[in-house]
Amino acid sequence: MNHNKELKSIREGIQHTGRKLGTLRDLDVFWEKTQNYLDTFPQERQSDLDSLKKIWEEKHKSTKEELMVYLDSDFYTQLKESFAKSLKNDSLWSETTLTQNGRAKPHRVCHVVPAIIYQQMAGVLAYDEWVRNPDVSLKELHQLRIAGKSLRYTLEFFEEVLSPKTEGAILEIRKLQDHLGDLQDAIVASQFLRNFLTWGEWGLSKKERKTFPQEPILAPGVATYLADRQGELYRKMRTFPEVWVYFQSDEFKKLMAEIVTTL
């Protein structure tokens, strides 16, 4: 296996593991926010979502068991071993300082990091014409959140060698992420709750959802919670422009320029 294929295989394995972990994470986040919702109720209403909790616990248990099977699998063991071995293989990570044509190749942090940061910043700002549209789709906002996450992670990774003002930029990007994260959590929760109210299950495949159930699901507490999540979704959509305006300001652009001045 050549170096590119080896690194690609490891990257794909890590991404696969991340998706496995993410499924359980989504379940945990869902109930954490659901519990926060329940905590606003008096004691006599704490059982409003018991039917939902029962289904959630069953799904959480089965998902956790599937994850543990995966983490004990030969595939995951081999992935860990391959990754550990690759970290000790200097030739796998070595880079030449000249191109095949004999030209100098940018290879130091001070050469490449400013370009990476500006490229990722451009990737965030490029969403402006879409997200300022009153009819912006939830998918586009989710993609913006991912772009913001990439920029933030880059700044956090190189923060030690960047300007002290980097911390401020990270905090601003985190505000954007938190806002869009709450919006995405409301979307996911609405989908889970809709499935429950329709089929009485956490989720069924499209193949299994050929017909609607003959009997309605009687769960008024869950229906009320769905309305609450829909309200949260509307609020986050309505207030998003207040968060986004900062990222189109001269202040943000000057801050990003100052961040790389120490390199």
Residues sharing a CB contact under 8 Å with residue 256, sequence separation 6 or more, in sequence order: 117, 118, 121, 169
Contact 252, 148 (CB under 8 A): no
pLDDT value of residue 211: 65
pLDDT value of residue 166: 96
Contact 12, 83 (CB under 8 A): no
Torsion sign over Cα 11, 16, 17, 19: positive
pLDDT value of residue 133: 84
pLDDT value of residue 40: 94
H helix or E strand, kind and range, residue 194: helix 166-199
Identify which of 60, 256, 80, 88 has the alpha carbon closest to the alpha carbon of residue 173: 256
Distance CA 122, CA 151 (A): 10
Backbone angles phi, psi at 104, to 5 degrees: -65, 135
CA 85 vs CA 17, 64, 91, 102: distances in Å: 18, 28, 12, 31
pTM of the entire predicted model: 0.85
Render pLDDT for 227-261 as a digit per residue (tens, 0 to 9).
999 999 999 999 999 999 999 999 999 999 999 99
pLDDT value of residue 97: 84
Contact 189, 229 (CB under 8 A): yes
Render pLDDT for 128-162 as a digit per residue (tens, 0 to 9).
998 888 888 999 999 999 999 999 999 999 999 99
The vertex-1 CA angle with 75 and 70, nearest 5°, equals 10
pLDDT value of residue 20: 95
The confidence band for 215, taking pLDDT boundaries of 50, 70 and 90, is confident
Distance CA 83, CA 75 (A): 12
Distance CA 227, CA 190 (A): 9
Q: Is the pLDDT of residue 165 over 90?
A: yes
Tokens 């586009």, residue located? 140
pLDDT value of residue 198: 86
Distance CA 213, CA 210 (A): 10
Please, what's the b/e burial string for 127-140 (b: 16 or more CB within 10 A of its CB; e: otherwise)? Answer: beeebeeeebeeee
Per-residue pLDDT averaged across 11-29, rounded?
Answer: 94
